[in-house]
Amino acid sequence: MKIYHNPRCSKSRQTLQLIKDAKVEVEIVEYLNEIPTKEELKIILMKLNLQPKDIVRQGELIYKEKFKNSNFTNEEWLQILIENPILIERPIVVKGNKAILGRPPENVLDLL
């Protein structure tokens, strides 16, 4: 199991705690420091069954200032997410061929 984690985010911390409480081995990727590649993001999105725009944090200031009300292709959104990883919704938990967004954190229970 792998979690794309931001330790400053309460939902991310709560999701990680649920995984630890279940005594499941987990790889922690602090994605703001270890930014996923475009290929990694594509695989994650396929496992989430979502499009790049679906995992954009629209409440972030940079989104509101630079990207709101813009029409981008999926490839363009992937590049935006790589260049601005703060915009990637968190946490994302991946297990095998499935992934979930940990919002709410209890979503992770489906993978445990």
CA-to-CA separations, 3 to 14, 28, 97, 109, in angstroms, rounded: 12, 5, 14, 13
Catalytic, 9? Answer yes
Secondary structure (3-state) at 42: helix
The residue type of 111 is L
β-pair partners for 98: 95
Dist. CA 49–CA 44, nearest whole Å: 8
DSSP state of 63: I
The active-site residue, picked from 9, 28, 32, 50, is 9
Kindly report whether the peptide bond that precedes residue 105 is cis, defined as omega within 30 degrees of 0.
no
What residues act catalytically?
9
